[in-house]
Amino acid sequence: MSDKTQSIHGAWSSRFAFILAATGSAVGLGNIWKFPYITGQNGGGAFVMVYLFCVAAIGVPIMIAEIMLGRRGRQNPINTMQSLAVEAGADPRWQYMGWLGMVGGFLILGYYSVIAGWSMAYIVKSFTGQFFSSDAGDIKALFDDLMASPIQQIFWHTVFMLATMQVVMRGVQGGLEKSVRFLMPALFFLLLILVAYAMSSGGYEQGIEFLFNPDFSKIDADAVLTAMGHAFFTLSLGMGAIMVYGSYLPGHVSIAKTTFYIAGADTIVALLAGIAIFPLVFANHLEAAAGPGLIFQTLPLAFGHMGGGWLFGLLFFVLLFFAALTSSISIIEPAVAWLVENKDLQRREACLWAGGACWALGVAVVFSFNIWSEHKWFDKNLFELLDYLTANLMLPLGGLAIAVFAGWKMKPAHAEQELELPAQGFQAWQFLIRYVAPASVFLVFLHVLGVL
């Protein structure tokens, strides 16, 4: 157990507060927007089983490692890796692992906040009944109009960034903790309402069968690698968020037990999202493998043709907003912590600098959908380029580096001190973090580069 004093930014008031915050970081658009559509594209139940295995064998060991490094360092990810490299007698350039995560998180928030802004725009569209009795063409036109309007997108992007900064400015207990104590229970409550509604939709049995009845003939190497990659990304690993949250974790709290709770809650949210969404898709004879448009183009069509659809559409997009907000406050926190610790800024000033820079990047992302749509790099617009660089390159590298440092560079005695696991439990974690997790992440990395 770490005997170091707490971070200068404060500490979580309890293990439960940390679990809520870290679960909020992990639960985001990936669970509610991405998980259902990649499950649909990869055959349903068999994909879910592979995904669950990957969470347990890859995601959990790396999350344990990232929280452990954060708590031992008690600083922002860059300073943490700098001090831990010195402690381990390792190359000081390990600090670049902290830079990789922090910059990756910054780039992610630049486009993440734009997508979160879409969810806010759709809250209004649901409330005003714009989906009511609309056909597929009308729904597509709504989305196309939003994409073509820089003013609308910048407005909602700005509102979302202001909401994020308002929370982060208030600090660990006054902002991050207080917000997730409301947002996470509200998120679960909204999900359960939507699940209850899905049970009466007429497509519930078909949706459950699709989600949980495995057909392994649908699984190929590509599906396995997709599941592996999503299990890694959905837990917010490799971007510094979990590491900096770990730096606020009291020394007496069990890292391993806490990680199991977080991974379990994150997985439950992803499965509940599937249980809520697929019955609506099947009841309305829509396509389960609709891809990224499942949320913003397919589901609004379903909401527009069901009894009380405006209300449940409203609840769904409020849920999406809550999930995005709990993630965004964790993504920006490493940059804010670094500015406070290294540039001698007050927390409010650091939030304004970091938030302002993310906002400016988000404006450029908005333009990539309309007035700059013809400007492309490697055949990708700015949004697609940032998504590719972060999700497919920077985060896998960050996760690989965490596994290698925790498994091979950090002194085993220090890891044992932090984790306080029984001998067999520590040996199992060490085997997973040294061999299974790095090899798996390396395979994902080769896959996204087109080598496999």
Other C-beta atoms closer than 10 Å to the C-beta of 205 total 11
Over the stretch 317-335, which tens digit does the pLDDT of each residue have?
998 899 999 999 999 999 9
10 Å CB burial of residue 138 (0-12, 13-18, 19+) is middle
Pick the most confident of 294-303, 342-351, 380-389: 342-351
Euclidean distance between CA atoms 366 and 355, whole angstroms: 16
Q: What value does the mean pLDDT of the chain take?
A: 90
Q: Is residue 174 part of a domain?
A: yes
Q: Is residue 80 part of a domain?
A: yes
Tell me 2's DSSP state.
-
pLDDT of residue 307: 76
Predicted confidence band of residue 6 (pLDDT cuts 50, 70, 90): confident
Predicted confidence band of residue 31 (pLDDT cuts 50, 70, 90): confident
Is the confidence at residue 5, as pLDDT, over 70? no
377: three-class secondary structure by DSSP: strand
Q: Is residue 2 part of a domain?
A: no
Instruction: Give me the domain span that covers residue 83.
Output: 15-448
Is the confidence at residue 377, as pLDDT, over 80? yes
Predicted confidence band of residue 4 (pLDDT cuts 50, 70, 90): low
Identify the CATH number of the domain in which residue 381 sits. Answer: 1.10.4160
Min mean pLDDT across 65-69, 76-80, 216-220, 374-378 is at: 216-220
Min mean pLDDT across 39-43, 162-166, 443-447 is at: 443-447
Is the confidence at residue 33, as pLDDT, over 90? no
Q: Which CA distances in Å does 400 have to 60, 168, 264, 291, 386?
A: 14, 28, 22, 28, 20
Over the stretch 366-376, which tens digit does the pLDDT of each residue have?
999 999 999 99
pLDDT of residue 1: 46
Q: Which two tokens stand for residue 451?
A: 């080598």
Q: H/E/C letters for each residue in the chain?
A: CCCCCCCCCCCCCCHHHHHHHHHHHHCCHHHHHHHHHHHHHCCCHHHHHHHHHHHHHHHHHHHHHHHHHHHHHCCCHHHHHHHHHHHHCCCHHHHHHHHHHHHHHHHHHHHHHHHHHHHHHHHHHHHCCCCCCCCHHHHHHHHHHHHHCHHHHHHHHHHHHHHHHHHHHCCHHHHHHHHHHHHHHHHHHHHHHHHHHHHCCCCHHHHHHHHHCCCHHHCCHHHHHHHHHHHHHHCCCCCCHHHHHHCCCCCCCCHHHHHHHHHHHHHHHHHHHHHHHHHHHHHCCCCCCCCCHHHHHHHHHHHCCCCCHHHHHHHHHHHHHHHHHHHHHHHHHHHHHHHHHHCCCCHHHHHHHHHHHHHHHHHHHHHHCCCCCCCCECCECHHHHHHHHHHHHHHHHHHHHHHHHHHHHCCHHHHHHHHCCCHHHHHHHHHHHHHHHHHHHHHHHHHHCCCC
Q: Is residue 62 part of a domain?
A: yes
Q: Is residue 185 part of a domain?
A: yes
Q: Is residue 5 part of a domain?
A: no
Number of domains in the chain: 1
Is the confidence at residue 3, as pLDDT, over 60? no
Query: 179 or 223: which carries more pLDDT confidence?
Result: 179
> Phi and psi (nearest 5°) for 377?
-125, 125
Query: 388 or 180: which carries more pLDDT confidence?
Result: 180
345: three-class secondary structure by DSSP: coil
Euclidean distance between CA atoms 273 and 31, whole angstroms: 7
Q: Is residue 269 part of a domain?
A: yes
Is the confidence at residue 410, as pLDDT, over 70? yes
Euclidean distance between CA atoms 303 and 323, whole angstroms: 20
Tell me 251's DSSP state.
T
Q: Is residue 39 part of a domain?
A: yes
Euclidean distance between CA atoms 314 and 120, whole angstroms: 10
